[in-house]
Amino acid sequence: MTLSYLLGRKPGLQLAFFPNLDPDAVLETIVAFANTEGGDIVVGADESGHVWAGMQAEDAEDIVGMAITQVRPPVQVEAETYELPRGTVLVFHVGRSPELHSLPDGRVLARRGSENRALTGQDLTLAAVGRATGAFELEEVPGATIADFDDDVIAEYIEHRQRRNPTGFVGPTETLLKQIGALSERGAATVSGMLLFGRDPQVFLPQAGLTFVKFPGVDRHGGQGEIGYGRRVDVGGPLARMIERTWQVVWESMDKKAVVRGLQREEETEYPMIAVREALVNAVAHRDYRIMGRRIEVMMFKDRLEITSPGGLPGYITLKNIVDEHFSRNPRLVNGLLQWGYIEELGLGVDKMIETMVSAGHPAPEFRATPHSFTVILRKGHEVGVHHPRPQWEGNMNERQMKALQWVQEYGRITNRDYRQLCPNVSAETLRLDLANLVDKGVLLKIGVKKGTYYVLKRKPQ
């Protein structure tokens, strides 16, 4: 990443800023990044692009040394130094590690949004287990080599990668494929390489396909009550092609109608395009490819769309924290799809699904998890082209507030306790301010005092 690109972004899951050098805080962030999704640390400048004086190039060597000598196991960090007219800026690049790392005091940190948090108890255990599953991506596929890769797919990936990072890797294709884990050091194709670039991955990994089925009713029966479906399509190929083909099939199978809103003509679909895309990409990127005998399933019913991926929730992710937390079972596949552009920014897929479904007048997505599968359910709130009331909520609202409003619409009221259960990893004060903001906007009405306080809609959607 170029410095100008980093300075144009806000801190988050994979980016942190330290205007002044704080070695301990930087080391904590290095550990948190290595234990989560990797990331970049900018020292000597803030997110607005302002450069702070006082940084020295030698400071980079000290930080890299600390990551090697004080962290267990050591973390390999790449450092870049930028000498600017206003001062020196250091950038540290941290990759996602296959191991869990701890600080000298024993703490194991992980990245949560733009913060570093300590893992304890069950979260620590699940993170360790999830780490072990990520090694499957680097396993060699018996009998497969670079000759089994599709040259056009590789070229497309490299084009997108260079567009995203013009100053990134430049060198032989085979070297790049080894660097990203698509090829082993001895030149054998790995699981991640076959899934991303294979000419026909399903020959080697039969479980890596996808099945789309459209049913005429609300269950898996035909129109006369018999078991049957209206359309079935089996989709294969490398992941990028599989996503595109599946999206095309879903698009063809959805009801669509041109509607006029104001002076603009729009095409309305059964389900928001963004929500479907995010659910599909998440299923492909995060399924457990170790599970044999089952493909990703996309089931379209009259009233809902269900996308099921084999494998339970990864790492420390639960149904309660799925919106606020992030953990990749397949970090190399995720990074590949990120470079390709299918994932815009890590950790925001669930947020986008909720936001686009609710804003389009549909219920928020439902999430179901078993030990061996995970399902996203998108339900229709109205038929295509049929006039439906849409919430006219004033101002910009964050995803938490939209969840709160969805709760109120479903249950009639919300309490502070309800809101804490909806957002268990957010501070009570932040949630209180969220609700107070909705009251100030005139959307919610506060009733009662102290422990008996609850909130209802002050103004129904128009």
Give the torsion sign (CA, 36, 42, 44, 47): negative
Is a pLDDT exceeding 90 seen at residue 319? no
Q: Which of 206, 233, 250 is the last residue of a domain?
A: 206
Please check whether residues 236 and 359 belong to one and the same domain: yes
Question: What average pLDDT does range 32-47 have in this prediction?
Answer: 91
Alpha-helix residue ranges (DSSP H) falling in 198-310: 201-204, 239-253, 273-286
User: Kind of pairing, strands 296-300 and 210-214?
Assistant: parallel
Tell me what pLDDT residue 460 has. 44
Q: Is residue 384 part of a domain?
A: no
pLDDT (0 to 100) of residue 235: 96
| The dihedral sign for the CA sequence 284, 290, 295, 301 | negative
- Give the CATH number, domain containing residue 301: 3.30.565.60
Give 374-401 pLDDT, tens digit per residue: 999 999 988 876 655 545 544 467 888 8
Measured CA to CA, the distance from residue 288 to residue 133 in angstroms comes to: 9
Percent of the chain predicted with pLDDT > 90: 44
Residue 362: both structure tokens together: 């549909």
Which structural domain, as residue segments, surrounds residue 43? Answer: 3-116
Q: Which two tokens stand for residue 246?
A: 């599946």
Render pLDDT for 234-284 as a digit per residue (tens, 0 to 9). 999 999 999 999 999 999 999 887 666 555 667 788 899 889 999 999 999
Report yes or no on 219 lying in a domain: yes
Select, from the ranges 147-156, 325-334, 359-368, 430-439, the one with the highest average predicted confidence (pLDDT): 147-156
Number of domains in the chain: 4
Q: What band does 321 get if pLDDT is binned at 50, 70 and 90?
A: confident
Number of H helices and E strands in the chain, helices first, is 15, 19
Of 423, 302, 321, give the one whose Cα is nearest residue 367.
Answer: 321
Q: Are residues 366 and 431 in the same domain?
A: no
What is the per-residue pLDDT across 282-310, written as a single tens digit (0 to 9) for each?
999 999 998 898 999 999 999 999 999 99
Residues 141, 163: one domain?
A: yes
- The pairs formed by 179-184 with CB atoms below 8 angstroms and a separation of 24 or more are 180/332, 180/335, 180/336, 181/137, 181/138, 181/332, 182/149, 182/332, 183/146, 184/138, 184/140
Q: 339: closest CA among 93, 95, 168, 111?
A: 168
Q: What is the pLDDT of residues 67-95, one digit of tens each?
A: 999 999 899 899 999 999 889 999 999 98
Residue 461 has pLDDT above 50, yes or no: no
Rounded to an integer, the average pLDDT of 17-41 is 93
For residues 50 and 225, give the distance between their C-alpha atoms in angstroms, rounded to a whole number: 67
